[in-house]
Amino acid sequence: MKHSENGYVVHEGCDHIFFVGFLGAGKSTLARNLGALFNRDFVDTDRMVERMAKKTVCQIFHEDGEARFRELEAQVLEGLAKRKSLLVSCGGGIVEGERSCELMHAMGTVVFLDGDVEDSLRQIQHPEIRPDFKDEACARRLYRARRPLYEQEADLRIDIRHKSFEQVTSEAGQLLWEKGLL
Ligand SMILES: Nc1ncnc2c1ncn2[C@@H]1O[C@H](COP(=O)(O)OP(=O)(O)OP(=O)(O)O)[C@@H](O)[C@H]1O
Ligand SMILES: O=C(O)C1=C[C@@H](O)[C@@H](O)[C@H](O)C1
Ligand SMILES: [Mg+2]
């Protein structure tokens, strides 16, 4: 394993870390926090899709449909192949896309932020502008359907139940550091 002048691990090839998990689990917060702590760039697939499509996630769902959104998600992931050492916070439904799953595994490590649906419901901001959030019963059904997919795709799992984001950041940082991924 190589180290740069400032002591950070330098990886050969593509070595991104992809954070997946249910809506509001804290994927973006964790990726941003770890990016600041470990001097790594942080990107968010929802924002990249919006930049590529020049539309909001909500508009894409309404005007073009979910299948098109999943294609765009896979396209933005493809664009990450030429970059290095990114922390990627993924859209909550990225594990629904077969191509996206293949790409994440080809380009790095998939980390599942595993929490209860209650944590997500509490942390979801502006549910009214989220195409994936209709009401609580719907979110619970989606959570039950999604959880096996997250588990199936996860290389690593971090239990986030009843933890502050400081705790989640330090546990995730320690785990990824120990595995030589940060
Ligand atoms: N462990 C935590 N404890 C309490 N609040 C948290 C925790 N993690 C994140 N939050 C807060 O919950 C909200 C959602 O977090 P964040 O946007 O990081 O989640 P996300 O998984 O990226 O959500 P999305 O599905 O919208 O992309 C934010 O307001 C954030 O500050
Ligand atoms: O869970 C989902 O299917 C989604 C989650 C969001 O991050 C966005 O990617 C979009 O709203 C779809
Ligand atoms: Mg997010």
The domain tally of the chain equals 1
- Tokens coding 37: 């702590």
* Phi and psi, residue 61, nearest 5°: -60, -45
- Beta strand pairing call for 9-10 and 2-3: antiparallel
Q: How far does Cα 121 stand from its chain's mean position?
A: 17
Return d(Cα 125, Cα 149) in angstroms, integer.
24
Q: Closest ligand 1 atom, CA of 160?
A: 1
Mean pLDDT over 157-170 rounds to: 95
Does residue 146 have a known ligand-binding role?
yes
- 108-121 residue pLDDT tens: 999 999 999 998 88
Write out the residue range of the structural domain in which residue 59 sits: 2-178
* Probe target for ligand 1 pocket from 123, 150, 170, with the most ligand atoms within 8 Å of CB: 123
Contact by Cβ (8 Å): 109, 181: yes
Residue 13 is predicted with a pLDDT of 74
ipTM of the complex: 0.94
47 CB under 6 A from ligand 2?
A: no
Sign of CA dihedral 74, 97, 51, 25: negative
Ligand 1, atom nearest to 123 Cα? 12
Average pLDDT across the chain, whole number: 91
Q: How confident is the model at residue 22 (pLDDT cuts 50, 70, 90)?
A: very high
Output the domain CATH number for residue 30: 3.40.50.300
This prediction's pTM: 0.92
* Cβ of 21 less than 6 Å from ligand 2: no
Say how many residues make up the chain.
182
Average pLDDT over residues 160-180: 95
For ligand 2, atom 7, name the residue with the nearest CA.
Answer: 91
Residue whose CA is closest, atom 14 of ligand 1?
24
Residue 6 half-sphere exposure toward CB, CA atoms < 13 A: 5
Cα–Cα distance, 49 to 56 (Å, whole number): 8
Is residue 11's pLDDT more than 70?
A: no
